[in-house]
Amino acid sequence: MLPETPKPTPVRLQKFLADCGVASRRHAEVLIQAGRVTVNGSMVTTLGSKVQPDTDRVAMGGRPVVPPTTCRTIMLNKPRGYVCSASALDGRIIYELLEAIPERLTYAGRLDKDSEGIVILSNDGDLVQRLTHPRFDPEKVYQVTVSGTVDSAVLNQLNAPMEIDGYRTQPAQVRVLRPSAKTGRTLLSFILREGRNRQIRRMCEAVGLTINRLVRVQIKALPLGNLQPGQWRELTPGEISRLRGA
């Protein structure tokens, strides 16, 4: 007798959505709880629900969700004024800059509307998870131009854990790149290993600094380079391996 063909293993719904490039796992959980996901025509709002990728019909917002046939990962230099969102109700969205890309790509970490710099987008769910979940130590580097006094006491405060919305942040690494001159502005480097909502802006506000410009210039070992604002490019297999930490 021929051996039986093993049945495909069911996967958690949020992982399936992430693997299909719909959203990161954490954002997928929000979509599920909001009632935007159906399985075989029925709404599913329970986290941890499992689906059979080969046979179950999954939809998000009425649109079928299917696994990608090929993985694609790009780097975008997000300009100021654009938001990391898929909804046009939020204003100008980064996907307006990616109209030439037919695949559904998920951003791996947000930048707020007034921030600029590197954003990674991919339909590789595992890669997005590695770039967004704190346990993978997704180090990010920012260059921040501020107004206000930056002395040793302020730097000590910025480098220490801070309370933000009842959460105690991990210590950041903050140093001066260029001291203030006649303009009274100072260029700082921030290295973070977590991405709390508007964390750098809240940190600076807590020590009396005003942010004039905030640019994310590196994610893990991948720098922004000379990519111009509003432009994007494909990542090489080697660059993707660096992002995975391989």
Give the residue numbers annotated as catalytic, written as ranges. Answer: 112
At 241, list the tokens. Answer: 């391996």
Helix, strand, or coil (residue 54): coil
Distances (CA, A) of 197 to 2, 92, 202, 233: 55, 19, 9, 26
Concatenate the DSSP letters of all residues of 3-14 into one string.
PPPPPPPPEEHH
CA 19 to CA 124: how far, in whole Å? 6
**Angle 95-101-106 (CA atoms, 0-180°, nearest 5)?**
55
Neighbouring-strand partners of residue 56: none
Concatenate the DSSP letters of all residues of 179-205 into one string.
---TT-EEEEEEEESS--TTHHHHHHH
Concatenate the DSSP letters of all residues of 63-93 into one string.
EE----SS--EEEEEEPTT-BS-S-GGGSSB
